[in-house]
Chains A and B, each alone.
Chain A
Amino acid sequence: MTDKRRLLPGLDAPAILREAGKLLDRRVEQPSRRAFLRRGLTLGGLAMLSGCSLSDDESVEKALSAVSRFNDRVQGWIFDPAKLAPTYPESMITRPFPFNAFYGIDEVPQVDEASFRLEVTGLVADKRRWRLDELRAMAQVDQVTRHICVEGWSAIGKWGGVPFADFLKRVGADLSAKYVGFKCADDYYTSIDMPTALHPQTILALTYDGRTLPPEYGFPMKLRMPTKLGYKNPKHIQAIFVTNTYPGGYWEDQGYNWFGGS
């Protein structure tokens, strides 16, 4: 990322508008019409839109949130659980795979495996807590997929673990519930729709690139979904719950789209 700032050639809007304004003044004699045309040249209040005034307006914010919730529903309809994300050969893995979190790499939580227990609550039949080796004892899969960040960049990585659908069935989750929520050791939290939770490529990842998931990539476990943007893929998961009450999320509560994926 860079801080260099330069306009695209041909995009110097203020200069264009100034120039156009001068031309208009020469050609249009009547002052009222001139003023009218000049106002028209602000591109429908381009300046107004760019300022914070409009975005900070509470009613605008509410309207945008309402559209975002509408988009959640639309995305739920578009989602086809049979559509698979592309997979890649291991030679295409991005090395080193970028670390990304809402804090620096030196603040990554260190979870102690010996005392760790995964909590499973909500609409599930079996609420017992899980040790890591019990999860490792279940059938494992791995896949090389593209991780897409909400910022736009992407990177290819290899995650392995338990298909999340297997896990949900094993704990007797209500598979008709709306949401699966996650609470993490770094105080991150997020939630996903049940159809995505049951997608064949959604895995409770315990490994990265064939080795135990390192702390920076989410030890002890991360929910890996190639159909969702990065912020929907929680790391350092400590608790999983199934619910019909909208649980939101760390970034979602600040304005990121809740569905957040493909």
Chain B
Amino acid sequence: MMAPPALDQGPAAPQPAIHPRWLRVTHWLNALAVVIMAMSGWRIYNAAPFFDFTFPNGITLGGWLGGALQWHFAGMWLLVANGLIYLALNAASGRLWRKFLPVSPGGVVRDLLAALRGRLSHADPRRYNQVQRVAYLFVMVDIAVLVLSGLVLWKSVQFGLLRDLMGGYEAARRVHFFAMALLAAFVAVHLAMVALVPRSLLTMIRGK
């Protein structure tokens, strides 16, 4: 898909925000929640690692297992409440469909190749390319999987159906872990992209 021509930005015509305020607020609250959940989660993982490695304590949160659990079970409210507000506003405003659809495998491959060749236009920050669309949709689903698998770990008896869907308690631990690893990978790529296009950081702070 070709990028549309850049809009004429005359000083007389004030532009509406690229990112509405509610989006910027929920984005940064989500970033805070994800940092808290990941760093405390690593400490919890360290208490009984199921792979041949642990996370360095220096990048974990909570100081010990009990402290990490307190952070994790406090951060979860921020993650879930903020995530639900984000999804509700996204759906109600129509932004979810306007910004993230359509998305197609062919379009993703095309935009990905263009990005790798350095030929992807960032002329219009209002428009997400197909790689962005699929990445942002993915991270929404991934966080939902984290929350659902987390519910199984927290309440394996009360959420029996969810537990069985995950393949049991022990399988849910792995689901939770891999969903975390994918989220961490997303964050790494996301930060690298922000570093390449610093203006995107400013638009997420100032709105334009």
Contact = CB atoms under 8 A, between A and B. Distances in A.
Contacts of B160: 83, 86
A226 B157 contact: yes
Given A37-B201, A49-B35, A262 B155 contact: yes
A172 to B, nearest CB: 29
B61 interface: yes
B47 A43 contact: no
A44 B70 contact: no
Contacts of B185: 10
Given A4-B54, A5-B54, A55-B61, A85 B157 contact: yes
A182 to B, nearest CB: 20
A64 interface: yes
Contacts of A50: 39, 58-61
Interface string A1-28: 1111111101101001101110110011
A251 B67 CA distance: 12
Interface SS majority for chain B:
helix
Contacts of B31: 43-44
Interface stretch (A103-111, A150-158, A211-219): A150-158
Contacts of B125: none
B184 A11 contact: yes
Nearest to A34: B198
Contacts of B65: 150-151
A37 B48 contact: no
Nearest to B74: A67
Interface string B39-80: 100001101111011111011111101110111011001000
A49 B39 contact: yes
A149 interface: yes
B91 interface: no
A16 B192 contact: yes
A49 B71 CA distance: 11
Interface in B160-204: 160, 163, 169-170, 173, 181, 184-185, 188, 191-192, 194-196, 198, 201
Nearest to B186: A10
Interface string A97-125: 00000000000000000000000000000
Contacts of A152: 44-45, 47-48, 50, 153, 173
A55 to B, nearest CB: 5
A262 B44 CA distance: 18
A83 B157 contact: yes
Contacts of B71: 55, 64
Interface string A34-52: 0001001101101001101
A150 B69 contact: yes
B189 to A, nearest CB: 8
Nearest to A80: B158
B132 interface: no
A187 interface: no
Contact of A4 (B52, B60, B154): B52
B54 A2 contact: yes
Contacts of A19: 192, 195
A71 B192 CA distance: 37
A63 B157 CA distance: 28
Contacts of A49: 35-36, 39, 61
A16 B49 contact: no
Contact of B53 (A4, A16, A254, A257): A4
Nearest to A43: B35
B90 interface: no
Nearest to B189: A10
A262 B157 CA distance: 5
A246 interface: no
A254 B67 CA distance: 9
Contacts of A13: 59
Contacts of A37: 198, 201
Minimum-distance CB pairs A-B, first 5: A20-B195, A255-B66, A262-B157, A151-B47, A151-B48
